[in-house]
Structure 1
Amino acid sequence: MNRFLSNVTSKIDAKGRVSVPSVFRSVLIQRNIQELYCFQDFVFPAISAGGPDLLDRFERQIAAEDPFSPEANEMSLLIHGGGVFIKLDSEGRMMVTDFIRDFTGIVSEVTFVGRADHFQLWHPPAFAEVQAAAREGRRLRGTRPTV
Structure 2
Amino acid sequence: MNRFLSNATNRIDAKGRVSVPASFRAVLAGREIQELYCIQDFIFPAISIGGPDLLERYERQMVSADPFSPAANEMSLLIHGGGVFMRLDSEGRLMVTDFIRDFTGITSEVTFVGRSDHFQVWRPEAFHEAQMAARKGLARVTGS
Instruction: Report SS of the residue matched to 1:18.
Output: strand
Using the size of structure 2 for normalisation, the TM-score is: 0.97
For residues 67-86 of structure 1, the aligned pairs below 5 Å read 67-86=67-86
Instruction: Report SS of the residue matched to 2:142.
Output: coil
AA paired with 1:6? S
Instruction: Report SS of the residue matched to 1:81.
Output: coil
User: 2:119 maps to which residue?
Assistant: 119
AA paired with 1:67? P
For residues 21-32 of structure 1, the aligned pairs below 5 Å read 21-32=21-32
For residues 53-64 of structure 1, the aligned pairs below 5 Å read 53-64=53-64
What value does the CA root-mean-square deviation take over the aligned residues? 1.0
Partners of 2:105 and 2:14 in 1: CA distance: 17
Q: 1:141 Cα deviation (Å)?
A: 3.1
Deviation string 1:47-86 (CA, Å, 9 cap, x unpaired) is 0000000001111111111111111101100000000001
Partners of 1:98 and 1:65 in 2: CA distance: 32
Partners of 2:13 and 2:40 in 1: CA distance: 23
For residues 44-59 of structure 1, the aligned pairs below 5 Å read 44-59=44-59
Q: 1:143 Cα deviation (Å)?
A: 5.0
Instruction: Report SS of the residue matched to 1:121.
Output: strand
AA paired with 1:86? M
Q: 1:139 Cα deviation (Å)?
A: 2.1
- Structure 1 residue 133 and structure 2 residue 111: aligned? no
* Structure 2: gaps spanning 5 or more residues: none
Instruction: Report SS of the residue matched to 1:113.
Output: strand
Partners of 2:137 and 2:71 in 1: CA distance: 30
Deviation string 1:101-127 (CA, Å, 9 cap, x unpaired) is 000000000000000000000000000
Partners of 1:73 and 1:25 in 2: CA distance: 34
Q: 1:136 Cα deviation (Å)?
A: 1.7
User: 1:41 maps to which residue?
Assistant: 41
User: 1:65 maps to which residue?
Assistant: 65
- Identical counterparts, % of pairs: 74
**Count of paired positions:** 144
Instruction: Report SS of the residue matched to 1:130.
Output: helix
AA paired with 2:41? D
Instruction: Report SS of the residue matched to 1:141.
Output: helix
* Structure 1: gaps spanning 5 or more residues: none
Deviation string 1:17-50 (CA, Å, 9 cap, x unpaired) is 0011001000000000001100000000000000
Using the size of structure 1 for normalisation, the TM-score is: 0.95
